[in-house]
Structure 1
Amino acid sequence: MAWQWFYRLGSPRWFYENTGRWLPWLALVTFSLLALGLVWGLGFAPMDAKQGNSYRIIYIHVPVSFLALAGYYVMAINGAIGLIWKMKLADMVMKSAAPIGAALTFLALISGAIWGKPTWGTYWVWDARITSMLVLFFLYLGVIALQASFVNQQTAARASAILSLVGTVNIPIIYKSVDWWYTLHQPATLKLTSNSTIHPEMWYPLLVMIIAMYCFYALVLILFTRAEIVNRERQTQWVRALSGGQ
């Protein structure tokens, strides 16, 4: 039964038809949480004792940084599934995740630079965390370039999957960079193994924004994947039926 469910999930048609029912509810939850988190964090969270109001960019920077890392795993895992089980849907998800991840990584770098100016006195330093995030951005771009470099979709998917899997070594480097090397970037504020160092009144709106951004990522990934499904399956009867048989 588990394998049947797994292969059903790998069906582009099953994915397209079922996600169509989820999208309105997911969009409602996503934009409600985004509105709540932004208003709460930017308008009502207390001022930081050292950084003043400049710290408020944390409500953008931290969630997009989390998604930049998590999104790479989404891309790499789907690449592995495509390599091992030859699932078309996994290849489509991998391709769809690359531009989303690149955009999130770029936003993380830009928001970090904006935060760095009042904190460090400069927009950019070749800090271990920042440099490894820049490498992540180039890895996403590499996957996008590979997808565009091959006419054959299977060859493109295979090359992209290999690069995605090789690039996963960079994720723990990004996460642990502030612990392994001397770095201007502050240590992790949110910790799984010990108490977080952020005040609860600042933490709650940040938590809302993190959840909202995960919902946003899921929403955009589903939309991109649905578009990719329609593009690749446009000659099938069920996709042609969507457009009235044209």
Structure 2
Amino acid sequence: MWKWLHPYAKTEETYALCGRLYPWLLWPAIVLSVVGTLWGLAFAPTDYQQGDSFRIIYIHVPGAMLSMGVYAGMAILGFIGLVWQIRTCYMAIAALAPVGAVMTFIALFTGAVWGKPMWGTWWVWDARLTSELILLFLYLGVIALYGAFDDKIQAGKAVAVMSLVGVINLPIIHYSVYWWNTLHQGATISKFDNPSISSDMLWPLLLNILGFGLLIGALACRRLQNEILTREMRRPWVQTLLLGEGAK
């Protein structure tokens, strides 16, 4: 594993990798998200119980799933950064946190919009909703903690530890509908052997999940590049890069 990670301990290599990946992530993300959203909103059949209000699932579910996925990625990066002392992992956590916070906000907002016609209220202190709100606070905490340190190496270590500690919230979010009596519905697409959703509704949802995931990857690559340039501004390779960009 170290042999694979070692080249990307160098910020220059990580910057170049992000630049190569960015277009390959961005354009498929746009295509998949547009197709999945239009398919789900305009062409998927109406739900027999919820009517057309169910269509918000095509934004809500990708946002909710990926809000947890991004945080899990931050925890993995935090572990790698602390064990192998790779500071680019700390930069990646800083790059991912705002993206994950936006995904979590989307999940909470669309969940409230969906909950109003279904439950008769915008918000309840339901186990799933409350633990998802805690996830948003964890993201905001990581962002604030990273910005509170002038020494970004120490800041990176601090947010790595916070990411690892906060990861305990993820299984609580996922299993809350089974552990407690909640208003939130149970699993639908995660039951791969027998998903509780028609295939006509499932395929556009899967497209959106993949599209949103690729979009997160593209945004993370661009944000990580910006973080690297900010942190490495005085390094010769950055000066050369900026001079080359300025000459174009």
TM-score range, shorter chain: over 0.9
Corresponding residue for 1:127?
Answer: 126
Name which of structure 1's ranges 52-61 and 25-34 shifts more when overlaid on structure 2: 25-34
Deviations 1:173-231 (A, max 9, x none): 00000001000001111224641100010001001111101101111111110110111
How many residues align structurally? 245
C-alpha separation between the residues in 1 aligned to 2:15 and 2:157? 23
Where do residues 60-209 of structure 1 align in structure 2 (5 Å cutoff)?
60-192=59-191, 194-209=193-208
Q: Normalization by structure 1: what TM-score?
A: 0.96
C-alpha separation between the residues in 1 aligned to 2:105 and 2:240? 38
* Displacement of 1:84: 1.3
C-alpha separation between the residues in 2 aligned to 1:5 and 1:177? 37
C-alpha separation between the residues in 2 aligned to 1:224 and 1:115? 31
> Which 4+ stretches in 1 moved above 4 angstroms?
none
Q: Normalization by structure 2: what TM-score?
A: 0.95
C-alpha separation between the residues in 2 aligned to 1:11 and 1:43? 47
Structure 1 residue ranges without an equivalent (≥5): none
Where do residues 210-225 of structure 1 align in structure 2 (5 Å cutoff)?
210-225=209-224
Corresponding residue for 2:39?
Answer: 40
Identity %: 46
C-alpha separation between the residues in 2 aligned to 1:167 and 1:35? 33
Deviations 1:116-167 (A, max 9, x none): 0010000000000000001111111111111111111121111111111111
Structure 2 residue ranges without an equivalent (≥5): none
Q: Tell me the C-alpha RMSD between the 2 structures.
A: 1.3
C-alpha separation between the residues in 1 aligned to 2:170 and 2:24? 32
Corresponding residue for 2:21?
Answer: 22
Q: Tell me if the contact between 2:87 and 2:156 (Cα under 8 Å) persists in the aligned partners.
A: no
Task: Label 1:161 to 1:3 Cα distance change in 2 as closer, same or farther (>3 A).
Answer: closer
